[in-house]
Amino acid sequence: MGMLRQNYHEPVLAAEIVAFLVRRAGIYVDGTLGGGGHSRAILQALRESGQAEGSLLIGIDQDDAALQEASEKLKAYEPMTVLVKGNFQAMGSIIKSVSAQKAVPDKVTAILLDLGVSSFQIDSPERGFSYRRNGPLDMRMDSGASLSATEVVNGYEEHELAKLFFRYGEEPRSRTIAKAIVTYRQKQGAITETEQLAAIIRALTYGGDNVIKTLSRVFQALRIEVNGELDVLRQALYDGIDSLEESGRMAVISYHSLEDRIVKTIFAEKARSDWGPKGVALREPLERGSITLVTRKPLVASQQEIDINPRARSAKLRVIEKIAGGELSCKQVR
Ligand SMILES: C[S@@+](CC[C@H](N)C(=O)[O-])C[C@H]1O[C@@H](n2cnc3c(N)ncnc32)[C@H](O)[C@@H]1O
């Protein structure tokens, strides 16, 4: 158990991330800086392989506490890092502004997204991400953002809550849970703490395992809604691919099927060349894929890693590489 806790903050699939991404000196972007674990592994690998010169790591996070934590962890690499508070959705413009400020290229060598919340966020009851300890029903990664989970849980109508739990939590009893929340609101007032919400769900669910799964699904759904997680992910994938230099790579670690489906679909779409309607002979595709899939199937953590870092259990890593001359629109019909 001591072992588990000690390694709780270890970055997931770190060796794989380094092996896929660190190939030359250049501009590295960690869009989900968190506690800085992956960034430190990348910077260390750059330094140890003699590629620190000419390298810069742009670390982005929307959470002030994460930036604070990461800046401590990355102190030894300070001259090689620029840490930015922001949403990775705006990665393209963040890269451009850092590149102007530092007089470096605005196309980057590698991008990492390690999605979701960090163990620091989960372990802080005052952030309201966890049903395990009581705290305000907040769930905002960016504490300056306007929508919190309290507003969603108390402000959404029953059918909106049901839809949310179904879409973002894939919760089979979404309607029952939404109904119980609205009944509670009417009879007992606002739901402002994680424990209040957890108690409503526990009262509807039987069997220890079931209760935990239901709580996880409902809390996941709220977190996705509060932070607009799926929309920002889509935007970041398109922006990220655009921002890569030729043969630059992007790696994404996702933790649930909704995220992984988006990553898989957008990567497949950008990798595909469009040969137009069947039966029309073309010398060149109408549109050429702009990336290749470095990992055809998602990579998962080894049992050994999962044993020491349980967070790795649901991790899926997909990696792509930007190719030369992608996105041509070439309509040479024979
Ligand atoms: C799983 S943690 C990353 C952990 C990190 N790789 C490490 O090794 O410590 C995810 C981090 O991404 C941040 N994050 C999630 N979505 C974000 C977004 N749209 N924009 C910026 N940061 C985001 C969270 O605040 C959190 O700190």
Asked if 233 and 115 touch (Cβ cutoff 8 Å), the reply is yes
What are the pLDDT digits (tens) for 242-258? 999 999 999 999 999 99
Q: Whose CA is closest to 240, among 107, 97, 115, 67?
A: 107
* Ligand 1 center to 195 CA (angstroms): 25
Q: What is the DSSP string of 250-298?
A: EEEEE-SHHHHHHHHHHHHHHH--B--STT--BSS-SB--SEEES-SS-
* Ligand 1 center to 248 CA (angstroms): 21
Is the pLDDT score of 327 beyond 90?
Answer: no
- Candidate of 61, 67, 91 to mutate for ligand 1, largest count of ligand atoms within 8 Å of Cβ: 61
Q: Which residues sit with their C-beta closer than 6 Å to ligand 1?
A: 11, 32, 34-38, 60-63, 66, 87-89, 114, 116-118, 141, 232
* Ligand 1 center to 14 CA (angstroms): 15
pLDDT at res. 207: 77
| Structural domain boundaries in the chain | 2-114+230-322, 124-227
* Ligand 1 center to 120 CA (angstroms): 10
Q: Band the pLDDT of 326: cuts 50, 70, 90.
A: low
C-alpha span between 147 and 145 (Å, rounded) = 6
Is the pLDDT score of 203 beyond 50?
Answer: yes
Amino acid at 69: E
Share of the chain above pLDDT 70, in %: 95
pLDDT at res. 85: 97
Evaluate whether 2-114+230-322 and 124-227 have a shared fold.
no
* Ligand 1 center to 277 CA (angstroms): 41
pLDDT at res. 284: 84
Q: Band the pLDDT of 7: cuts 50, 70, 90.
A: very low
Q: Whose CA is closest to 248, among 294, 200, 307?
A: 294
* Ligand 1 center to 291 CA (angstroms): 24
C-alpha span between 148 and 223 (Å, rounded) = 9
Q: Which range is least confidently modeled, 86-90, 140-144, 236-240?
A: 140-144
- Candidate of 7, 13, 28, 33 to mutate for ligand 1, largest count of ligand atoms within 8 Å of Cβ: 33
Is the pLDDT score of 6 beyond 90?
Answer: no
What are the pLDDT digits (tens) for 163-197? 999 999 999 999 999 999 999 999 999 999 999 99
Q: Report the length, in residues, of the chain.
A: 334
Is the pLDDT score of 328 beyond 60?
Answer: no
Does the structural domain 124-227 have CATH classification 1.10.150.170? yes
Nearest ligand 1 atom, CA 63? 25
What are the pLDDT digits (tens) for 255-274? 999 999 999 999 999 999 88
* Ligand 1 center to 61 CA (angstroms): 6
Smallest CA separation from ligand 1 atom 7, residue: 37
Q: Residues 2-114+230-322: name the CATH superfamily.
A: Vaccinia Virus protein VP39 (3.40.50.150)
Q: Which range is least confidently modeled, 75-89, 115-129, 151-165, 240-254?
A: 115-129
